[in-house]
Structure 1
Amino acid sequence: MVFLEKIASVYYQYHAAELADVIFVFPNRRAGVFFQHYLKKMVDKPVFAPEAITVDELFSRLSSLQTADKTGLLFRLYSIYCKINDKAESFDHFVYWGEMLINDFDDVDKYLVDAKQLFTNVTELKEIDTLFGYLNENQIEAIRRFWSTFEPMQESSKQKDFRATWEVLYPLYETLRNELLQQNEGYQGMIFRDVAERIKNHESLDIEGKQIVFVGFNALTPAERALFRFFKYRGIADFYWDYDIPELKDRVNRGSDFIQENLLEFPSRYTLESDEPEERKISLAGIPSAVGQAKYVSRLLRDNYSCQDGEQPDDTLMQTVVLLPDENLLLPVVNSLPECVSTVNVTMGYPVAISSAAVFIDQLLLLQRNARVNGDNTLFYYRSVQQILHHPYLLFLMNDTVNELSQQILRYNKVFIDKQDLAENELLDAMFTFCRTPKETMAYLVAVVKLLLQAMQPAEDEPVERQMEQELLFSLYGMLNRAQGLFDQFAVEMTTETFRRLLKQLMDGLILPFEGEPLSGLQIMGLLETRALDFANVIVLSFNEGVFPTKQSALSFIPYHLRRGFGLPTGEHQDAVFAYHFYRLLHRAKTVHLLYDTRSDGMQSGEVSRYLYQLRYHYRLPIREAVASFSVTPRKSARIEVAKEGIIAEKLAKYIMPHEGKALSASSLNTYLECPLHFYFTTIEGLNEEKEVEETIEANTFGLLFHETMQELYKPFVGQMVTATAIDGVLKNVSAIDELIALKYTRLYLQKDTGIVHPEGQHLILATVIRHYVMQLLRHDRAYAPFEYVASEKAFHVSMPLSDGKRKVNLKGFIDRIDRKEGVLRILDYKSGSDQTTFSSIEKLFHTESVSKRSKAVFQVFFYAMAYLLQQNDATVVEPGIVLLSSLFKSDFVTHITRKENRQQKIVSDFATIQEEFASSLTQVLDEIFNPDIPFRQTDDPARCTYCPFTVICRKENEPIDSE
């Protein structure tokens, strides 16, 4: 029998007829449910069931005080603080230590400490013996050790600050208690103390005609001990301790700290059967991942507890507990459970703080944080807007509206969006409202969540997930409503940042309880929920030092030595409690799996819990140990090839004359030379990266603005001679150039068809840079003048025969600029990037082995020159050139293309001299593209994959390609 089953057996044996007159008191509610389950299995005739309650419920029943709202306590405490201290700091600073004070006051009351004496300033050490004579020597020594550091002649500024703060603590404590008592309210410690003081004053407690049985306790507070004594002396109490555990009979074990005292003062009426020792199988697994632990649990359930996917698990799952010291692993564990685990009971509840509802609140707060007011207009930052629009709530409620708004943001490149453009309906109008103060923000959140609740009313046949989202939102709505009431009641001033932290604290404490049958299926618990419960199979996650047991003691204003001196709980007390629960849980288990995270990252050491060493070396228990590892060696990807057959062959045929709908450009051919598969994705299939809003003017937009500005400036000169005087006229009118750049900025970047928006901030800086480039190129043109300006953005569409002589491939493009001087026609290509204006050979322009050996810019302008000659078919001397913006301000700036070969340099002043060689190499590339026997393959150069958007498709991450 397990512990609770033994007690049920004893009381059914001796008190079956009067069970209805017995109240069983447990440390937690779950223990009471399991106790009644065991009792029910023993009953063979109708009886009235006994009452099972928690000790907190018993105190509340015996006290006349109602439990006060914890957040309300913080506001009330600050209000009192302001009345007591004329130089009170702001709520923003107070909120850091206000909650800490409330926890300290709670300890003071539960441990029945004389608050007046605790918070007394000791000015002379001799006062200690007088003030605290009722304490034992060890306690007085602890107090003396603390106050001995405060000698008037040597006090530091921090010590003086401590004394100043210490002086206000008792008035704060006393005033808070009095105000709460006037309203018949109290925090938990006050309720405990109220009952203890009523016992001390011999007041009657309404529990007549009942027997009280306390089950499964260990570390008692003085208030609990007073209550236990009260019922013991009245002869109506019985006590049962789960101390028949070999490891806890070891006085060295911290878990045994409270055993002797409890057994002596509160003995049991009936003797329980001793446990027969059973062999435990304990295993330890180190896993270098938090999620990996969750996956490991799934494997344990399938392999060890007769649980296979597609099968119903046996009853061992009800006897299995998954212990989560770190609640952040709750969702990974639940989501990793095998399909056969159809029933799960989570005593921890679902933390609202990690839900999509909490994410939605965070996004609303971020929206407010990034909003700006421009005159009468409210503007919202596009990233915040997009996050909200793509939240699952809005996608479910108004998917079409959301998609339309998102497309508008992208189409018109809206970095900041006017509220009027988002007010499509009542919910969106409420969401996109700007708040100036925390009070306005609170009202805003309440209004938005209320509208969302109304819109998301689920039907009866809705999936469980939808109903759960409704419950999460409702919990948040209730919390926000309570908080709004406190804001209105106390009118506390705070910054927006403090408001956000306070709201996060409120959400962190919000738990949505899971509903279900607690007596079936897998049990997932925190350590404290296991009190008084026993399981045959125990799986402990995060079995790391610092997590199990936790190394973080509760923050307190009361220094360690004063806590020791007045009998308040310290870190040692926490260690003793943790050790007791751990060894008690392991006592009746048959299999124990301890999982720990082996990673050393930041504050995480990757060290296993100290309890492992105690089990292995002190108690000599056999432990099977394993370390789970994950291979981080890159897997060779299989070569991806796309055959030119079927529908793909049909798509390729559209680039062959007489079809005129499809044509290859210089950039697409450059892509093919870099990676044929990339060419297939972009050119043949038309796949492109998803468009995003440009917060700043990106390189391609920068180049486009320069192109368009130059084209517009030379538009009046097309077909005419351009003189130095004419260019001077353009250079002198700087404001006209700025206005033209603003126009192009409005049309190309902002995507507005009307009006002119002048760039501001960073965009103004970039517009100024464009103007400098424009004017510098005009100065170079002035030096080159006179010349005939032939065309800007000259479109061409030509065909080029393949080597079979039967097919011709359509080619297309736009030539940035064409001008003529002294019988030489220049074809110029503007380049805003870091391109090269030199090449070593035509062969290297078609070189596919390495990115660094190819000049894509030279290839492109040669392609334009060849296309022009194919289209014009005249004897004009064509000189290809590149206007490299990065070289415009250099003294040796030229547009020439230079061939560097065998340490010799030669300017390509007439493309005809290399046209045949270039055309021949290009024909070979085109033959390859349209050869049905050569599939589209990945590049063999991993460097080209670094910034490729299709890497996720290829799964090629800089590893060598498998040649098999």
Structure 2
Amino acid sequence: MQYFLDDVIDSLPQWKENPGNYVFILPSKRAGFFLREKLMLKAGKSLILPEIWSIESFVEEISGLHYASPLDLQFLLYKVYLDQKGIEKESFFEFSRWGQLLIQDFNEIDRYLIDSEKLFDYLGDIQELHQWTPDGTSSPMIRKRLAFWKSLLPIYIQFRDTLEQKGLGYQGQVYRKAVSQTPDFISKNKSKHYIFVGFNALNTAEQDIIQYFLKQGNTSIYWDADVHYLDDPLHDAGLFMRKYRSKWPNLQKNGLAGIGSYFQNPKKISVTGLPKSVSQVKYCGDLLYKLSSEPSENLDNTALILGDETLLNPMLHSLPSEIGGVNITMGYPLHHSSIAQLFSALFGLFQQKTQDKWRVKTAMQILRHPFLQPFFRDESLNSEKVCSILLKEYPNFVSGKELLEAGVSKGVLELLFPNKTPGVHEVIKQFIDLTDQLLPSYRQRNDVLNMEYLDHFKNLFTRLGDLCIQHPFVSDLKALKFLFEQLLSEDSIDFEGEPLKGLQIMGMLESRNLDFKRVIITSVNEGILPSGKTNSSFIPFDVKKEFGLPTYKEKDAVYTYHFYRLLQRAEAVHICYNTEPDVLEGGEPSRFISQLLNDPVLSSQIEHQIIAPKTGIHPDARKAIDKSERLLFKLNEKAKAGFSPTALSDYIKDPVLFYKKVILGIRDCEQLEETVAANTFGTVLHQALEYLYRPYEGLYLGPDAVHSMRQKAPELALKSFDEHFLKGMTASGKNLIALRVMEHYLDTFLLMEKERLKKHKIKLVGVERKLKIPFNTGTQGPEVYLKGTVDRIEEVDGSLRIIDYKTGMVEPRNLRISDWDSLRTDPDKSKAFQVLCYAWLYKQQNPVHNLMAGVLSFKNLKTGYQWFGLKEAGRSYQSDLHESVLLNFENQLQLLVEEIFNPNISFEPALT
């Protein structure tokens, strides 16, 4: 089958006679490149090719203005904004958050030739209605807001005038200017024959310009469409062309040239659902490998369309080597590179710096950054060792001196962690120095790609420095980071290759006017294809409808056309979509897929399948651990040091966990706590309670003591928090909330104490009392000690009570048993096991008759003290720990210890 651009050329055989008189205008430069190659092939002789323009360049030529760069537009708009009187001025960074949006709206207004004065007056009136009050009152904030909306028209006028004086313009301004210049342009170029090729969604300015050319008679226009969707009044793919056909005089008379019925030809369409983006990438790689293995298959006529262009990097890593040549039209965006992430982290480091300290989390992120590792190796810096020290010693902030002590070399410290908080120009200089310092490490390794990255970034920072000199209002790191991200988004690394050979990898918009025998499209999900209902604009939706500005409806129609146009001439189509809806990766399968599956012509040609990676059910990787002689020896050593109630509870929960934590000494992986963790919060609260109660140990408590403790509680809570977490820093954010929660816990608890003192006589016997005694196993077995620290021991009206503080949630059912064996077999009874263990330990050294043991849960303070309870036949739960109760518990301890030391019983993993 012959493709669109070939059809256009073949319908104009006279172009060869006088090619200099022909001018082709296409939607994109990419389409123009393919057209140029086809003209060369069809010329058959040496000649000067016709002029070929993209529509944007052609409009620029007509207008006499030049497009200003996005950053130049931002700077100029900010200066115009500062010139306005009667409105509150913001910093450049604050302005940058909405300035680009305003430029986009200016673009739309001008491209669609809207009466700007009427529109801005309308917007101002809407705001006045929104702020209207029955009594006519107004606040300073409302007046400032209204003043800003009223200033939009003066800003728009001054912005346009200033640009035009410089011979520049934003896109919409250039288009509006071109409309007025088109008649004069045509009169000066009467000998030219203009051919507009492959357009679909045209703004009002483009429509007026093209109709001017059509009216003068020496112009042709070719539409790339199919009657399948063009003649369907409900099909969005033909929305714009149907509108032009009914309204343009030339089209009413002559119809649409270039229309075909390609969907009548048989096609092979496969629609494949795969979980997540990585699966789509792997599937496409496997598909390309199979296609390249077929002798009759030529990938020169195959296009891989990335619906989500962020998949370019994983796709490149998934391409099989067997496919040969690959042409990537979009270039590799610099902001996806690892070095871009490094500089973003450095910006974060500088912005978070206190007067003399760096944030540990960001410092570790930089020290662990893969791009810096070759440089660190050359500097003999062990970054993982440094990070391990920072993790243990400095949980929040670290000074330069402390970084040196942790192992950071002086050269690295000066390069990445300067003592003085850098300003805008210092940061730029430091980044340029960093690229210079890194380059030798990569040159030595002949790492061409990363050397290219460094060269790009050095040029970027040099340009950034020039911009900051030209525009002094870029005076803080936030604004500098914004400029950095703007420049970064505009830059990419071009791929080298033969543009017309091999597999073509491109985005959806780059496929305009191009046809391929085989098409593979990824990420065909709602929110990606089409992109969804986004309305980032100062102009509300209903106002856009009123003034004829495009909305998401028109945007969806654009994507629909591009999708169906890709399919119309293709013989084989492979469509992939993500079966797992995700906020970041798109939603449910695209409406385009539903349309295809219900299409009366195409549905019979579609094969729909869902593919998932092969996943087998693997047995639990954890194996039982036999008790070898060496293990038993190690177990004996640990027994002499003493088993705590917590360690024995771990054995009941999971013997393998006990083996790892107690026998091998493996602890949970240390993680950096930016926000205080639950276990640290518990440690801090225990410490604060010890500070409060230690002075009263051995004394009877009274109202004065409780009153004194309530006054000291906030100070002692902060002291404990500082010792275990803050390390000299100020509590802020979630950590400040945690501190306030702790203070609330303490005050609520002390108020409970005050109420208890009204009813009971309370003596504080012990605080954080450490206990350790030998446990008689009754055999010639190993020497075993049990140990523990009792949070609180008190005497209430002559009855002794053992209390364990818990910061987590504990309910009465966790402390009640009716079956003694449940203490050894049910992990849910671990709280009961622990308090009984503390009570038993205390009783061995202190003869006592009336004894109770329980828990105080700070997350469940309203329940008060919760006591161990034993339910025996025909009786309610009993809390008194009389001799028989502790003897029964001792029997359970005996069985548990015997099981731990039994060489014939392995450490079995807990059932999950």
Bin for the TM-score computed over the shorter chain: 0.7 to 0.9
The aligned counterpart of 1:73 is 73
Structure 2: stretches of 5+ with no match in the other structure: 134-141, 729-734
Q: Does 2:660 align with 1:656?
A: no
How far apart are 1:283 and its partner, in Å? 3.7
The aligned counterpart of 1:901 is 872
Q: Is the 8 A contact 1:285 1:628 kept in 2?
A: yes
Matched residue type, 1:935: S
State the secondary structure of the residue aligned to 2:499. Answer: coil
CA distance in 1, matches of 2:193, 2:693: 97
The aligned counterpart of 1:680 is 659
Q: Does 2:507 align with 1:526?
A: yes
CA distance in 1, matches of 2:499, 2:560: 26
The aligned counterpart of 2:162 is 179
The aligned counterpart of 2:516 is 535
Q: Does 2:683 align with 1:701?
A: yes
Matched residue type, 1:178: D
- List per-residue Cα deviations over 1:650-702 (Å, max 9, x = no partner): 23332237x98876444322211121122122223322212235544835413
Q: Is the 8 A contact 2:692 2:712 kept in 1?
A: no
Q: Does 2:269 align with 1:279?
A: no
| 1:133-532 pair list within 5 angstroms | 171-192=154-175, 200-201=183-184, 215-219=197-201, 239=220, 241-243=222-224, 245-247=226-228, 250=231, 252=233, 253-257=238-242, 258=244, 278-285=265-272, 289-291=275-277, 295-296=279-280, 298-299=282-283, 302-303=286-287, 306-307=290-291, 316-330=298-312, 333-334=315-316, 344-357=326-339, 359-360=341-342, 363-364=345-346, 367=349, 377-394=355-372, 397-398=375-376, 400=381, 402-412=383-393, 414-418=395-399, 421-422=402-403, 425=410, 442-443=424-425, 446-457=428-439, 458-459=442-443, 461-463=445-447, 466-467=450-451, 469-470=453-454, 473-474=457-458, 477=461, 480-481=464-465, 484-485=468-469, 487-488=471-472, 491=473, 511-532=492-513
Distance verdict in 2 for CA 1:120–1:877, change over 3 Å = closer
Matched residue type, 2:824: H
The aligned counterpart of 1:808 is 782
TM normalised by structure 2 equals 0.73
| 1:506-585 pair list within 5 angstroms | 511-544=492-525, 547-552=528-533, 574=555, 577-585=558-566
State the secondary structure of the residue aligned to 2:504. Answer: strand
The aligned counterpart of 1:139 is none
Q: Is the 8 A contact 1:655 1:664 kept in 2?
A: no
State the secondary structure of the residue aligned to 1:936. Answer: coil
CA distance in 1, matches of 2:714, 2:160: 70
How far apart are 1:233 and its partner, in Å? 10
How far apart are 1:550 and its partner, in Å? 4.3
Q: Is the 8 A contact 1:322 1:538 kept in 2?
A: yes
State the secondary structure of the residue aligned to 1:525. Answer: strand
Q: Is the 8 A contact 2:107 2:173 kept in 1?
A: yes
Q: 1:925 aligns with which of 888, 896, 904?
A: 896
State the secondary structure of the residue aligned to 2:635. Answer: coil
CA distance in 1, matches of 2:103, 2:764: 86
TM normalised by structure 1 equals 0.70
The alignment of Structure 1 onto Structure 2 pairs a total of residues equal to 865
Q: Is the 8 A contact 1:817 1:827 kept in 2?
A: no
- List per-residue Cα deviations over 1:133-191 (Å, max 9, x = no partner): xxxxxxxxxxxxx99x999x999959x99998897666544433332233333333444
Matched residue type, 2:508: L
Q: Does 2:31 align with 1:31?
A: yes
Higher deviation after alignment, 847-856 or 471-480 = 471-480
- List per-residue Cα deviations over 1:748-791 (Å, max 9, x = no partner): 55679xxxxxx9996588479779989979999x967798x999
Q: Does 2:648 align with 1:669?
A: yes
CA distance in 2, matches of 1:760, 1:553: 37
- Indicate the RMSD between aligned Cα atoms, in angstroms: 6.2
Q: 2:833 aligns with which of 827, 831, 856?
A: 856
Q: 1:689 aligns with which of 648, 668, 686?
A: 668
Matched residue type, 2:239: R
- List per-residue Cα deviations over 1:344-369 (Å, max 9, x = no partner): 54434444555545544554565566
Q: Does 2:905 align with 1:934?
A: yes
Q: Is the 8 A contact 2:854 2:868 kept in 1?
A: no
State the secondary structure of the residue aligned to 1:540. Answer: strand
Distance verdict in 2 for CA 1:467–1:18, change over 3 Å = farther
How far apart are 1:5 and its partner, in Å? 6.1
How far apart are 1:532 and its partner, in Å? 1.3
The aligned counterpart of 1:132 is none
- List per-residue Cα deviations over 1:487-522 (Å, max 9, x = no partner): 42xx3899x988877876665555554444433444
- List per-residue Cα deviations over 1:716-768 (Å, max 9, x = no partner): x9xxxx6769999999899999999887766555679xxxxxx9996588479
* Greater helix share, structure number: 2
| 1:706-785 pair list within 5 angstroms | 709=691, 763=739, 766=742
State the secondary structure of the residue aligned to 1:650. Answer: helix
Distance verdict in 2 for CA 1:417–1:556, change over 3 Å = closer
Distance verdict in 2 for CA 1:342–1:898, change over 3 Å = same
Higher deviation after alignment, 354-363 or 74-83 = 354-363
The aligned counterpart of 1:119 is 117
CA distance in 1, matches of 2:785, 2:385: 36
How far apart are 1:71 and its partner, in Å? 2.6
Distance verdict in 2 for CA 1:843–1:93, change over 3 Å = closer
Matched residue type, 2:431: V
* Identity fraction in percent: 23
CA distance in 2, matches of 1:169, 1:743: 54
Q: 1:622 aligns with which of 604, 608, 630?
A: 604
CA distance in 1, matches of 2:58, 2:487: 27
- List per-residue Cα deviations over 1:604-649 (Å, max 9, x = no partner): 77364268537844656535253637699x9976345534449x65
Distance verdict in 2 for CA 1:272–1:586, change over 3 Å = closer
- List per-residue Cα deviations over 1:198-218 (Å, max 9, x = no partner): 55346997x999987654344
Q: Is the 8 A contact 2:856 2:866 kept in 1?
A: no
Q: Is the 8 A contact 1:667 1:860 kept in 2?
A: no
**Higher Rg:** 1
Distance verdict in 2 for CA 1:418–1:16, change over 3 Å = same
CA distance in 2, matches of 1:565, 1:729: 74
- List per-residue Cα deviations over 1:107-135 (Å, max 9, x = no partner): 56556x4x7x6525899xxxxxxxxxxxx
Higher deviation after alignment, 77-86 or 676-685 = 77-86
- List per-residue Cα deviations over 1:362-416 (Å, max 9, x = no partner): 54565566555xxxx4455544444444444455644846445533443335434
Q: Does 2:578 align with 1:592?
A: no
